[in-house]
């Protein structure tokens, strides 16, 4: 994978993150921040740079946030990261 595949403009696509949920979270935050900064065109371009599975993962994350609430989903993701760090670094 070339460096060009890892970025949209100056923004990381987080392809180096193995955990699909965490990668989707980081991508969703990037898109949200771009939109909040009035950079809707860049948010769309960033999303368009992702493959179908990347966009689907973000869609599932948005549905989870709508269903469970932002803080619950954030806690679940953080717990998942902590659990994987414990397994990888006993």
| pTM reported for the whole predicted model | 0.83
Copy the structure tokens of residue 70. Answer: 């932002």
Could you tell me the residue ranges of all domains in the chain? 19-88
Q: Which of 39, 36, 9, 6 is nearest to 23 (CA)?
A: 6
In the numeric block, the tokens 């948010």 are attached to 43
Answer yes or no: are the C-beta atoms of 6 and 15 closer than 8 Å.
yes
User: What is the number of other CB atoms lying within 10 angstroms of the CB of residue 42?
Assistant: 19
Each residue of 40-84: pLDDT tens digit?
999 999 999 999 999 999 999 999 999 999 999 999 998 876 655
């Amino acid at each position: 994978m070339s460096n060009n595949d890892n970025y949209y403009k100056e923004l990381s696509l987080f392809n180096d993150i193995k955990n699909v949920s965490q990668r989707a979270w980081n991508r969703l935050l990037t898109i949200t921040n771009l939109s909040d900064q009035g950079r809707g065109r860049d948010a769309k371009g960033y999303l368009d740079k992702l493959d179908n599975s990347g966009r689907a993962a973000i869609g599932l994350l948005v549905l989870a946030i709508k269903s469970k609430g932002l803080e619950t989903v954030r806690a679940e993701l953080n717990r998942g990261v902590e659990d994987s760090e414990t397994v990888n670094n006993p």
